Structure 1
Amino acid sequence: MPSKLNDEHYRNMSRDERMNIPRWRSAALGQFNEENRTVEMSFASETPCLDWWGDKEILRCNDEAMNTERFAAGVMPILFNHKRDAVVGKPTRIWTESGRAYAEIQFAQTEEAEKIMGLVKDGFIRGVSVGYRVNEWTLIEKGHKSEDGIEGPAWIATRWEVFEASIVTVPADASVGVGRSLPFPDDFENNIVPERSSGELKGGEKMSTDEKGKPTEEKRDANPTGVASAASPVNEDEIRAAAQRKERQRCTDINTLCDKFDIESEQRSKWINDGTNVETVNRELLEVLSTRNATRVSVKPEMGAAEEDKLRAAYRDGLALRSGIAIAKPADGAEKMRGMSQRDIARDILMRAGEKDVLQLNADELFVRAMSSSTYSDLLNATVKLSMSQGYAEVDTTFEAWTVEGTLSDFKTAYRYKLGGAQEPELIPENGEFTHAKLDKEKTAVQLGTDGIAWNYTRQLFINDDLDILAKFPYRIAAAFKRKINRLAYTALAGITYSSANGNLAAKAGVPSTETLSAARQLLRKQKDFSKKYSLNLNAKYLIIPSTYETTAEQLLRSLADPAGAHSGVANVFRNSLDIVVDTALDDINANAWYIAAAKNQVEGIEISYLNGNKTPILESKDSFDTLARSFRMYLDFGIAALDYRGFVKNTGK
């Protein structure tokens, strides 16, 4: 085994050697469960990250790709600081979900484990290092793409195995967190390094390489890396400790320089992830400072409006899908976005906008910074609007079938006029005058009102990644707007003056039947104009009933034979002659009364008026500095008026 696994050693590795080298990822512990002595972590995702050589590495996180044989066999310990004689627990579960890999750790009941568990419980230790090895690669060369759009050069691990996890006091790079992937610097012994496995190129062909990284068909030696066999005497702890000290010192020195000269996080991460030594960083830092201080016009690259709209649509649909809202055609990329938390999305938006030190922001700072971003604010608005629109469109209401729709341009009282006197036009004799219609006696007032509700998307909801206020709440509120209009329409229907004088109240009460429906239909046909001279011959179009009569009405209007007939040979004259409208709003008003109505616009009926024809709620939002939140409000301007009693006949029912 080499005495020092230095930068030069890694840089000179062939592609085949890189395939076989063990790797590790940093992760952070989740919430501690004191009762079960357990803690969870997410240690891998399918998000591309740079490996030590600067290539993208992607771990496929699904049950087929992740090999958990060591866990199943009970030989996967949980260590402390990678010390093999410091076993502090065991994994109780390892699983994949939504493109991420998770593990649950249970602490042992030993003195050493109790100490470590106490530090984890109190928040003094949060770091984890998970070791794994890749058994099968798919390589995407530069200029090529994978089937799911990953651009080369990239290394995709399609089969990999978790073999060790350690709770660590000092992660290699706390600023990177979950997703950083590097070679394992100190576990090259034979019991971890696997037999050489061939990789796959684009198209799936198998390959191997010679010492210079060129493809070859020849078999390589059984020990291609030159790593010593198990018989070689080595001090593993000493090598491990030295490598960790060196790596920590390198990262500390680079971070100190970057903090001193205000270097952007992207450049900082590149130096750290690429394994660049401090001497090289100092040299390149001079070039960065020289470029920064040069007198020139700085042009910041910006994302095009169309691309930004596509990205926002993907985030919006991803949040909606995650909250359970069905979308017929989600935007491209929405399925991948649905696994991201609100904080993940906020960080991504800020980083795309060129914001500095985004990864170092705590949850409170991230919320404030995100709320100042127009892109993130637009995303919140778009998500709420999508939820609102679907809630209003998908709610099951029935008033639209038999009411008429009107438009008003302001909130002043308006009037709907009806013709007085003889409605029929009169013959004009030669040189005679037109007869003026009388409009002053028959008119009905209509006026708009505004219904609305407000709510906040708060800092706590952002930190808790609670989507209800963004997705579910607007859906339900929009549905409530439409249900209220529906309820008020039926209230107006029931509130019309029904009387024998108006000729719109059935003389004989009873459930819908051939007899009662025939009598109601006759009353509707005999309705007269306002002069009381001429019959309007209105045809019944709708049977409007509470749910009390739903089955009775279905039998009455769908049966071939008259349900009231003495035998089946009596034809049902009402079969399919009326549209049945059933609504429980009538149950709440009067569960016995039912109505028939003429077709729309035969006479003035019940009108639902909207301001300038806008039938859907209006959404507005703004930042609320008083409550650390984004405030939303939803409102709708509408009015309901019963214009004419003559288009409806009522039967008080059983």
Structure 2
Amino acid sequence: MHGTLDLPALRRAADLVLASFDEADRSVELVWSTGARVRRQPLFGEPFDEELSLDPAHVRLERLNGGAPLLKVHDMGTLDAVIGSVVPGTARIENGRGLARVRFSDRAEVEPILADIRAGHLRAVSIGYQVHRFEISRPASGPELWRAVDWTPFEISAVPVGADLAAGFRSAEPLSPCVVVRPGAPSPATRTSMDETQTKPATPDVATAPAPDVARATATPPTPDTDALVARAQAAERERVGTIHDLAGRLGLERGFAEDLVRRGTGLDEARRLILDKVADASDRTRIFPQVTVPLGGRDERLLRREAVSTALLHRYSPTLFPLTDQAREYRGLSLLELAREFLTQAGVAVRGLSRDEIATRALHSTSDFPEVLSAVTAKTLRQAYEVYPRTFTPFCRQVLATDFKAMHRVQIGEAPQLLKVNEGGEFQRGTIGESKESYRIETYGRVVAITRQVLINDDLDAFTRIPAMYGTAIATLESDVVWGILTANAAMADGKALFHADHKNLAGTAAPPTVTAIGDARAAMAKQTGLDRKTVLNIRPSFLIVPAALELTAEQLVAQNLTPAKTSDIVPASIRTLTPIAEPRLDAASATAWYLAANPAQIDTLEYAYLEGQQGAYIETRNGFDVDGVEIKCRLDFGAKAIDWRGLYKNAGA
């Protein structure tokens, strides 16, 4: 049985052979694999052993021999991460080991890395490889064995420790076979003396001639049983080395500790005991911070400090909107970079000697509270700008919440059936309520704002205060565009007719400016609107006079309460003065003369707008940047709107 899996690029540790360093061409020999068996722990399923076949027929060396890159810690995202390359044609397999020579770049930024390699501080390298074919078998005892019989190494990286904790480090020294001598076979000492004897030139001295038994042992080739014992000994040694490095890597121990256990020939049981002792010693150490967190008034000091710094930054943005508190005064004059240094120090990070760039980078990617402060400041400025933007549609529209993104069906409920007289002993007659359906759904709108390390270095406060505020205004503007666009577009309702239509009896037959007479005619038309049975009079009373910005002054004069007319004919009835004027400049783009009346949504449906439940208005979400080097802030709006009933609205095209 066989199948196909989609596997990512894998990594294994390897070693530099420092004795092979060549100063002339800045190159060094390295062992990129010994193929030893290592234990893999998948996210799901049981652990298995992985073994890389170093049969030359099973390894594709074209990419290494084509000058594969030498990287910094497997960083394949930037050109600066390339610190050298494999010398073309040097990748090879010898004596069960993968070897290659790499040459380092002449760039100045590579010199510190090269200096550490010369001094022996950097010894570890790791390979990235892709497996094309596994052969899986189940040994008599132990987990499954996944043997890679077709695989490609494609890059080599200089790393402080092995890149993959599940892969043990490989020693730069080749494994030596252990010969097991059976009775009647020559001992290791005899075999060594035989080899030395064979390397000396032959002399007629009889005393140096080998004994007959030794000569026969030398001439006799190893038996198949001996080959099997040697293979098993090699496999056991590979398992010992791989297991020691695997345990040490998983528990976060130093590479040198595992190498010392390997060199001393420590058995697996003893190695496990020593590794556990090492971990226990490390856990007993106490990490000391320069500050102690003490709850103040029931609140954690970290939270109080975070709020104080946020307030200080918001005060710099707008002193009138965000007054300075007593706790924030000590942070008032600090720059962004100084605040980043402060938070790193509070988190126990040593910052002495760090450059501005290093401080900014660590502040954005450490466990300090600084990214939280930046996110809070950005969110508050965006929310503040969103809330203060004038949304003139809210008085005459109804807000609802949507539980999902499916289409919402709104029933336009008709009038209740008229009550009929019930005679003594008679039955109550059943009636029906007419209905008409309107449907719409909410849509998602959003953008991402990024706070980069350049912002911190440049102390650019506007980048995460004014820019997010502009996004807050843009979100509120979008809501107004959607709602007012319903009136100006005059789209069709569920009956196939436009929102304002003569058949709906909500469109003036004669265009006129908003005068007492014209408004009186509109009020009368709304009052005479009938139910869906076309019989029941609804007596709808308008509450809002909606005009474009060009007619705002006219509307205000009509409803003014403190004007005394010069003559009786100019008196504005009290019923008109109770109207609330709403001026909206978006209406001017469609018509600078058209005006509208709208009923209170508590009396009858007019326009309806909806947010996703639990996320009313602008929703802010933050994370440490992945596409950018900094903090990303996502602004999202889930919003929709629709005209539900035409009977609560009236339009006059105006003169």
Once the two structures are superposed, residues 600-643 of structure 1 have per-residue CA deviations (whole angstroms, 9 ceiling, x without a partner) of 22111100111115322111121224421211111011110100
Q: How does 1:158-557 map to 2 (within 5 A)?
A: 297=286, 300=289, 301-302=292-293, 304=295, 306-324=300-318, 326-356=320-350, 358-371=351-364, 372-420=366-414, 423-424=417-418, 432=427, 435=430, 437-438=432-433, 442-494=436-488, 495=490, 497-557=499-559
Residues 416 and 299 of structure 1: CA distance in aligned 2, closer, same or farther (over 3 Å): same
Cα distance, 1:596 vs structure 2: 0.6
Once the two structures are superposed, residues 18-50 of structure 1 have per-residue CA deviations (whole angstroms, 9 ceiling, x without a partner) of xxxxxxxxxxxxxxxxxxxxxxxxxxxxxxxxx
Q: Paired residue for 1:263?
A: none
How many angstroms apart in 2 are the aligned matches of 1:421 and 1:623? 56
> Are 2:616 and 1:615 equivalent residues in the alignment?
yes
Residues 540 and 296 of structure 1: CA distance in aligned 2, closer, same or farther (over 3 Å): closer
How many angstroms apart in 1 are the aligned matches of 2:284 and 2:623? 39
Equivalent residue pairs, number: 359
Q: Tell me, what secondary structure is at the counterpart of 2:646?
A: coil
Q: Paired residue for 2:593?
A: 592
Preserved CA contact (<8 Å) 1:423 1:530: no
How many angstroms apart in 1 are the aligned matches of 2:282 and 2:510? 95
How many angstroms apart in 2 are the aligned matches of 1:368 and 1:644? 56
How many angstroms apart in 2 are the aligned matches of 1:428 and 1:615? 49
How many angstroms apart in 1 are the aligned matches of 2:541 and 2:593? 24
How many angstroms apart in 1 are the aligned matches of 2:451 and 2:582? 39
Once the two structures are superposed, residues 579-611 of structure 1 have per-residue CA deviations (whole angstroms, 9 ceiling, x without a partner) of 011111111222221101111221111001111
Q: Paired residue for 2:19?
A: none
Q: Paired residue for 1:571?
A: 571
Letter aligned with residue 639 of structure 1: G
How many angstroms apart in 1 are the aligned matches of 2:332 and 2:286? 39
Letter aligned with residue 604 of structure 2: V
Once the two structures are superposed, residues 363-401 of structure 1 have per-residue CA deviations (whole angstroms, 9 ceiling, x without a partner) of 111112101234111111111111122111111221111
Cα distance, 1:503 vs structure 2: 1.2
Q: Structure 2 stretches of 5 or more lacking a match?
A: 1-280, 491-497
Residues 647 and 569 of structure 1: CA distance in aligned 2, closer, same or farther (over 3 Å): closer
Cα distance, 1:423 vs structure 2: 4.6
Considering only CA atoms, is the larger Rg found in Structure 1 or Structure 2? Answer: 2
Letter aligned with residue 531 of structure 1: D
Preserved CA contact (<8 Å) 1:562 1:568: no
Preserved CA contact (<8 Å) 1:596 1:648: yes
Letter aligned with residue 327 of structure 1: L
Preserved CA contact (<8 Å) 2:314 2:322: no
Letter aligned with residue 432 of structure 2: A
Q: Paired residue for 2:87?
A: none
The normalised TM-score by structure 1 is 0.51
Preserved CA contact (<8 Å) 2:293 2:302: no
Cα distance, 1:435 vs structure 2: 3.0
Preserved CA contact (<8 Å) 2:308 2:327: yes
How many angstroms apart in 2 are the aligned matches of 1:577 and 1:518? 13
Letter aligned with residue 549 of structure 2: S
Deviates more, 1:507-516 or 1:623-632: 623-632
How many angstroms apart in 2 are the aligned matches of 1:294 and 1:634? 42
Residues 349 and 555 of structure 1: CA distance in aligned 2, closer, same or farther (over 3 Å): same
Preserved CA contact (<8 Å) 1:510 1:651: yes
How many angstroms apart in 2 are the aligned matches of 1:293 and 1:582? 71
Preserved CA contact (<8 Å) 1:310 1:331: no
Q: Paired residue for 2:250?
A: none
Residues 559 and 568 of structure 1: CA distance in aligned 2, closer, same or farther (over 3 Å): farther
Cα distance, 1:297 vs structure 2: 4.6
Identical counterparts, % of pairs: 28
Letter aligned with residue 315 of structure 2: L
Cα distance, 1:431 vs structure 2: 6.9
How many angstroms apart in 1 are the aligned matches of 2:284 and 2:433? 83
Q: Tell me, what secondary structure is at the counterpart of 2:482?
A: helix
Q: Tell me, what secondary structure is at the counterpart of 1:418?
A: strand
Once the two structures are superposed, residues 40-84 of structure 1 have per-residue CA deviations (whole angstroms, 9 ceiling, x without a partner) of xxxxxxxxxxxxxxxxxxxxxxxxxxxxxxxxxxxxxxxxxxxxx
Q: Tell me, what secondary structure is at the counterpart of 2:485?
A: helix
Q: Tell me, what secondary structure is at the counterpart of 1:636?
A: strand
How many angstroms apart in 1 are the aligned matches of 2:549 and 2:325? 40
How many angstroms apart in 1 are the aligned matches of 2:446 and 2:422? 53
How many angstroms apart in 2 are the aligned matches of 1:355 and 1:621? 23
Q: Tell me, what secondary structure is at the counterpart of 1:444?
A: strand
